[in-house]
Amino acid sequence: MTSTTLPILLLLGGFVLQLLLARWLTPVGKGVLATAVVFASFLASLTLVPASMAGVAAEAPLLAGWDGPLSIGLRVDGLSVLFMVMGTGIGAAILLFSVRYMEHEEQGTTRFYAIMLVFIAGLLLLAGAADMLGAYVAWEVIGLCSYSLVGFWYKQKAATDGARKVLVITHLAGYGFLVGLVLVYARAGTLVWTDPAVAPAFTSGVAALFIVAAMAKSVMFPLHTWIPEAMNAPTPVSALLHSACYVKAGVYLIARMYVVGGGQWHEAMGTPLLAVGCVTILVGVIFAMAQTDLKRLLAFHTVSQLGYIVVGLALGTDLGLAAGLFYCLSHALFKGTLFMCAGAIQHATGTRDLRDLGGLASAMPGTAKVWIIAAASIAGVPLTNGFVAKWLLFSAALDKGLLVVVLVGWIGSILTAFSFLKATVNAFYGVPSTALLGKRIHEASPSMLAGMGSMAGLCLLFGVAPQLLMLPIVAPAVRSLGFDWAVEMSWLGILTDRGTIAVTVGGGVVLASAMLGLLVYRLAQAPAPGLVSVYSGGEPLPAGDRPGAVDFAEMAETAFHPVYSLDPDPGYLRIWRALTRVAGAAQTTAGAVLEDRPLLPIGLVAIAALAGVWLV
Amino acid sequence: MNAVWSYLVAIAVWPGLLFAAPLGWLELWFMRKLVARLQGRQGPPFFQPFFDVMKLLGKETVIPRGVSRGIFLALPLVSVAAVTAALAIVPLPGNPVPSLPGDVVLLLYLMEVPVLCEVLAGYVSRSIYGQVAAMREAILSLAYNLPFLVAIIAMAQVAGSFQMRALQEVPYGLVHLLAAVTFLLALPARMKLNPFSIANAEHEIIADSHIEYSGPPLALFKLSHAIEVVLLTELFAVVFIPATPWPLVNLVVYLVAGILVLGGVTLLATTTARLRLTQAFRFYWVWGGLASAITMAATLVR
Amino acid sequence: MAMLKTILGNLLRPSRTRAPADMPVVPPTYRGALTHDAGRCTACGTCAFVCAPKAIHFTQDPGISVSWHFFIGQCSFCGLCEQNCPTRAIHLRADVPGSTNSAGGDGLRLESVIHLQPCTRCGAAHVPLPAATMDALWAAGADEAERGYCPDCRRWAASARLRTAFTPDGAVAEGGRHDR
Amino acid sequence: MPYSFPLGPYHPALEEPFKVKVQCKGEVIESATVEVGFSYRGIELLAQKRNWVEVITLIERVCGICSNTHAMTFCLAAETIAGIELPKRAAHIRTIIAELERLHSHLLWAGVGAEDIGFHSLFMEVFTLRERVMDTLEAISGNRVNYGMNCIGGVLRDIPDPAAHLPALDALAKGLGEVVIPTFTQNPTALARTRGVGRLSREQAVEWAVVGPVARASGLDIDVRKDQPYLSYADLGFESVVRPEGDVQARVVVRALEMMESVRLIREALLSLPPGPLRATQGLPEIPAGEATIRTEAPRGEAFYYVASEGGASPARVKIRTPSFVNIPAIEPMVMGQPLADLSIIQASVDPCISCTDR
């Protein structure tokens, strides 16, 4: 057991412990155990950082040469470390949050924590796998874990339907990965990412197959439609799914492809991927604006944000990769936080419908603060890591002269800001809605607050001092992909080599003048508070009657109705229905045959497989 | 002069607050006077906008019940600060601020802040009218920002740089013309003038999103609007009017161009009714989008 | 286009805004400040009868005078008092009543005192008829003495005239008494 | 979740206090309720406590815009009870005043409508034209608003020099024909705000029993001046304006063309002013016992009066049904499903007169 395998082994050990101790542990105990395990794994991952900073890839063969050149092993380079740290770090915070969140769950907590641990271990294995086969195995492990986690409340039809949709879309697209690696193996005889023999075999067709798989995992348009369906999962699952483990697998795959032959795939596939990313940014955010369910809103923002990350990666430059990877980390932080806030709100109020929320800031001040930090971050407000990420991304796009990307990103971020403005105002400010009247709303528990607060704090920390993250994590990852990126970056994410000091000064001045003004107001005679009521046309309005998120969304919907007609879901539904019909027909006609003679179909499949291998 | 001092001078004196506030008032007066004359009225004397602001400054600040005090008061300040800072990086002749890469991006960012402040102002005021105004403002900004951003980005594309000075030095050509038209398309909505005075449609929603504002905070919003008018017109002049080697001539040309642009949008405002939100949105995404596409195409085929 | 043409035309024309000095022409039919001529008023009360907003009323100082009161704040300037006044004592002038300070009530209220005169026959105080009316009624100079009579004495005089006309000798006078 | 948006009772789009409370889904109105009665004055009861002369002044104040209509209709009712034959000259003068009043009312409406769609310049032009009408009315009656022209049995004031008012009519026709009508019907932004907005179909118009220009803009050819001519309309020859579309644009066009017709009527009436007395009676009126119902066409539609007399100094009953009273409820079907932005122009398009409604 080397330090390279330690993080994964810790998680698997935790998994075994969960199963063994299930009988004696309370739900809280299980949660604490899982949290401790993931945290330990996080610490173990951190020990890998110095090596990756030095540019050394730690190798750990697990099953060396079990079948000729095909070996399963770990090769932990900068990129792997980034994803491992992200997965375990965010995972630890989310599990800390789930301790209290899941404590009232009557059954299935063992299942929950055990699978969560495997889920995270799957990501670690994916990130650390030295070859494509290992990565594919991890890929499907993640998929299966997410299937069972999304369907955690398997007694609810919506949850199981969602889980099935997740599995079908991502698994079907995952065959792209499988077919691609089979092709590579057939041509090169090896599947090790870094093997020079792989490079010529890794044609752009293979890359396209990989990208399709990554698109489904990373919710790229038009394969994004599973994500809102996955919202029936427990909130920690959603948080983990969205922020760290699941959707980021696709990001990892795209980034990892740069290792092969110096990113030769990029030449052919870079532009399509960019286009997909740009469309995804807009589609995601436009759909997000129309949502009233807090979690669905966040889900569509994940779509949009993943678009940004993929755009960064698709740029194919050192700065672009750095931007994409930094964005990936930042997104993990703020999206995880936002989901946890949504979970806390649902935990406290029993609803996550924005129409039924309002005025929570007074009842849940801590959650409100955490939410605002994370929302500012996702909207790209200066002083947060979201700003740094966007700034880097725009700089990278500008370096390549891709102004359209900047424009799209710009519009996307404005829409994101509006969307979060709406969500924030609706959930935390204004008058509590009638649905909440009479309910005793409690603040999130300390451990929940600690889980999300720590991540929100990191959002701010890495917003002010991104170099803290850049130097040890992001830069080695970029370097491990074969790009030489010298981190020339100062506070607030200002690229020192590009001389944008104006941004710093401008931002500082705005802040300073605002502070000064506030001071003047405080010193000046205090205006009388609340002598008059808000003007409502001469007669009082019913309390709590205000245009909310839904009304904004509806107004926006009327205004940009043409854009909404892009929804691809009906198409899927049609395919789905056709498939069900075909399956039904097949069952009725061939059912008897298959049931009576099971050997026949198996034999047929075997023949087909043989024919396939022979043909290739 | 070191950088910090030059920024301070730029924000406080030239082309910032000390210069922009009177100029903004003068330009607002010009628009009001022109509207009045076009409608066959006398119009106000030139010091009227100044008096308006002074009057507001002397009035009591009323904060309605249940409105978050801090945000309510901070918004107009942030708005003024942002537009002033934005103006400070416009390379008007004699601007002491050194031109830096990426200042176009910063400028565009800062120009969004007042809009955001207005939207927030509508929401924090908790007035139904303010909230509807805020929603309209937010959606409208999605409409007019398309041509507005494209106009600037197209110029940056031609210049190959996101630096204001570089934009100024682009050799004059077709893109200038197209981008200028695209920019002008966005201008009436940005200035909240007819036919796009949708967020401040007093006959539909009583007032704009600062319906609950009074006294000094309202004065600050008015000031912010005045400076925004200067900012928009001078930005247009600086980016799209060819510069001469003589700074003083440039300055005069820019000011005249700004006044002419204002005259144009005023003329448009006086000959039109107010459109609906959907109509304005359609206008901007169809005609603004078309102009944007043509402008971008022109930058590519160049 | 019509609007563009119009507004550009406006730009060339002088403004239509009126300055304080540039007062509009007041038409001769304008119903402005109200005046009352006590000399013509018979205090018949028609003006108060037709005044819908009750801007006009009368008070009495028994034996000395009758006062005509007008409160401009209640007046609707309908002009019915002028229209219906049988002796043309009320007149609405074409000039605009100036805005007045209500503090002292000056200008807002008009009071016109109609002094009573003693009857030249019985001595009872009464409102004298306007001179023009008297001229019209007694144009022939028939019974010049009746000019100073109070309404009661006028009735007496008329009655006396009738009686003399009916029974020139006056013989029936004693037997024809009836209750009044 | 629909939010409620109150238009009124204090709102810049309203000249008078009433309230349209709408429930909006986004920018779309889902339901609307109209509330009136904020300035109820009890004029009908007051009328029973005033004598016949005072009542005219009182009734004239039912409305600030169509003041003459009310006084005139009341006088017509009293004349009908008393069996008084109206002198020809008086009928002509009444017609002239009534049509001038229609002009000024429609112009006021056009200005308010222009303002409601944010067309300030048009508002200025319209109100400049309206000023000419007001000046003419003032020149004839001596007053700008409550003309005090009517008395039972005739009119109180003469038009000594009819030709003096013709230039104003020419200017008006020119202004209407060259500025107001072309702008309302051709300016793309004005069209965008009026065409297809606030539709009231013919069936709905019948169902909601609307009257006047609103009904005529929905294809209902009803006009008391044509259906039951009174005063001099039969002599002057009157043509009613009808449009089938039923939207705000149709209401604009109907009113605009009605104004042109009014200008023509006034011109004819002025030129053919017959000689004769102004009043059929002298002195204070005496109304015998009896009752009468009278319909006239006010600028906003049919005004209906029922007057009963018991032979005393005061009327026994005065019942007033104003056109706005029936038109205002029709705002509800008009705004249903329309954008919030159009609420003010739609409610303005029925020309709601709250002074009339809350009499």
Report residue C130 CA to chain centroid gap.
11
Q: CA A88 to CA A85: how far, in whole Å?
A: 5
List chains touching D (3+ CB pairs under 8 A).
A, B, C
Q: Name chain B contacts of D5, Cβ cutoff 8 Å.
A: 128, 132
pLDDT in tens, A131-184: 888 888 888 888 888 888 887 877 777 777 777 777 777 777 788 888 888 888
Integer angstrom CA distances of residue A132 from A76, A183, A189, A262, A398: 14, 11, 12, 17, 33
Give tens-digit pLDDT for A503-527.
Answer: 554 455 445 544 544 444 444 444 4
Residue of C nearest to D137 (CA): C27
Q: What is the CA radius of gyration of chain B?
A: 19
Amino acid at D12: P
Give the closest-approach CA distance of B26 to chain C in angstroms. Answer: 20
Q: B196 in helix, strand or coil?
A: coil
Contact at CB, A539 and D19, closer than 8 angstroms = yes
Give the residue from D254, D216, D69 showing the smallest Cα distance to D150: D69
CA-based nearest residue in chain B for residue A535: B127
Any D CB within 8 A of A111 CB: no
User: To probe the interface with C, which of B34, B35, B39 has the most C CB atoms within 10 Å?
Assistant: B39
Task: Note the pLDDT of residue A501.
Answer: 45
Q: Find the residue in A nearest to D11 (Cα).
A: A537
B9: left (phi over 0), alpha (psi -120 to 50) or beta: alpha
Q: How far apart are CA A469 and CA A475, in angstroms?
A: 9
Mean pLDDT across B122-136: 83
Which ranges constitute the DSSP H helices of A429-564?
446-464, 467-469, 475-480, 501-523, 549-559, 561-564
Cβ atoms within 10 Å of A58's Cβ, excluding its own: 18
Residue D102 confidence (pLDDT) above 80: yes
How many Å apart are CA B169 and CA A525, to the nearest integer?
49
Taking the Cβ of residue B271 and every Cβ of chain C, the question of whether any pair is shorter than 8 Å is answered with: yes
* pLDDT higher than 90, residue B260: yes
Average pLDDT, stretch A383-399? Answer: 80
Q: Which residues of D touch B194 (CB under 8 A)?
A: 118-120, 189
Backbone angles phi, psi at D307, to 5 degrees: -125, 130
Return the pLDDT at B180: 92
What pLDDT is recorded for position B227?
A: 92
Q: A171: how many CB neighbours lie within 10 A of its CB? A: 17
- The number of residues making up chain B comes to 302
Q: Give residue C155's pLDDT band: very low, low, confident or very high (50, 70, 90).
A: confident
Handedness of CA D139, D145, D150, D156 (dihedral sign): negative
Query: What is the chain C residue with the closest CA to D283?
Result: C84
Amino acid identity of D65? I
Q: Which residue segments constitute the domains of chain C, with CATH numbers given?
A: 28-135+144-170 (3.30.70)
pLDDT at A63 over 80: no
* pLDDT for B29: 93
Collapsing DSSP to helix, strand or coil, B53 comes out as helix
Strand partners, D6: D21
Nearest residue, CB atoms, C2 vs list D58, D61, D186: D186
How much is the mean pLDDT over chain B? 86
Question: Who wins on pLDDT, B47 or A269?
Answer: B47
Identify the CA nearest to C81 among candidates C71, B235, D86, D173.
Answer: C71
Taking the domains of chain A in order of start, what are their residue ranges?
Answer: 265-486, 573-615
Residues in A 365-424 with any Cβ partner in B closer than 8 A: 394-395, 398, 401, 403-404, 406-407, 410-411, 414-415, 417-418, 421
Q: What is the rounded distance in angstroms from the CA atom of residue A177 to the CA atom of residue A182?
A: 9
Query: Distance between CA atoms of A29 and A98, rounded to whole angstroms?
Result: 11
Q: Are strands C34-36 and C90-92 parallel, antiparallel or unpaired?
A: antiparallel
- 3-state SS class at C31: coil
Contact between D254 and D62 under an 8 Å Cβ cutoff? The reply is no
3-state secondary structure of B74: helix
Nearest in space to D322 (alpha carbons), one of D139, D75, D8, D62:
D62
Instruction: Give the lowest-confidence range in C142-151, D111-120, D331-340.
Output: C142-151
The answer on pLDDT for A99 being more than 50 is yes
pLDDT in tens, C3-45: 888 888 888 888 888 888 887 778 888 888 888 888 888 888 8
Asked if D57 and C53 count as a contact pair (C-beta separation under 8 A), the reply is yes
As for the ipTM of the complex, it is 0.70
Residues 336-355 of D with CB under 8 A from A: 339
What does the mean pLDDT of chain A come to? 76
pLDDT at D63 over 90: no
Q: Which amino acid is at C79?
A: G
Q: Which residue would you say has higher pLDDT here, A494 or A43?
A: A43
Output A35-39 pairs: Cβ under 8 A, ≥24 positions apart: A35/A92, A35/A95, A35/A96, A35/A99, A37/A10, A37/A11, A37/A13, A37/A117, A38/A11, A38/A14, A38/A88, A38/A91, A38/A92, A38/A95, A38/A117, A38/A120, A39/A88, A39/A92
> What pLDDT does residue A502 have?
44
More confident residue, D147 or A404: D147
Contact D128 C29 (CB under 8 A): no
Contacts of residue B40 in chain D, CB cutoff 8 Å? 124-125, 128
Residues on chain B touching A432 (C-beta within 8 angstroms): none
Domain ranges of chain D: 44-325
Q: Tell me the C-alpha distance between D260 and A342, whole Å.
A: 65
Q: What is the pLDDT of residue C101?
A: 59
Element containing residue C112 per DSSP (H, E): strand C109-115
How far apart (Å, rounded) are the C-alpha atoms in residues D138 and D39? 27
Element (H, E) at D84: none
Residue A534 to residue B212, Cβ atoms within 8 A: yes
Highest mean pLDDT among B257-271, C117-131, D281-295: B257-271
Average pLDDT over every residue of A12-28: 81
Looking at the partner chain, which of A505, A507, A527 has a beta carbon nearest the beta carbon of B61?
A527
| DSSP at D50 | S
Distance CA A569, CA A223 (A): 10
Architecture of domain D44-325: Orthogonal Bundle (1.10)
Q: How far apart are CA A88 and CA D220, in angstroms?
A: 76
Residue A583, CB half-sphere, CA atoms under 13 Å: how many? 6
Q: By the 8 A CB rule, do A49 and A88 touch? A: no
D146 touches chain B (CB under 8 A): no
Residue B48 in this model has a pLDDT that exceeds 80: yes
How far is D265 from chain B, CA to nearest CA, in Å?
30
- Give the 3-state secondary structure of A386-435: HHHHHHHHHHHHHHCCCHHHHHHHHHHHHHHHHHHHHHHHHHHCCCCCHH
Q: Left (φ > 0), alpha (ψ -120 to 50) or beta: where does D42 sit?
A: left
What string of DSSP letters covers A507-523? HHHHHHHHHHHHHHHHH
From first CA to last CA, the distance across chain D in angstroms is: 37
Give yes or no for residue C180 having a pLDDT over 50.
Answer: no
> CA Rg, chain D, in Å?
20
> Which chain A residue shows the shortest CA-CA distance from D17?
A538
- Identify the band that residue A218 occupies on the pLDDT scale cut at 50, 70 and 90: confident
The answer to whether the CB of A527 falls within 8 A of the CB of B63 is: yes
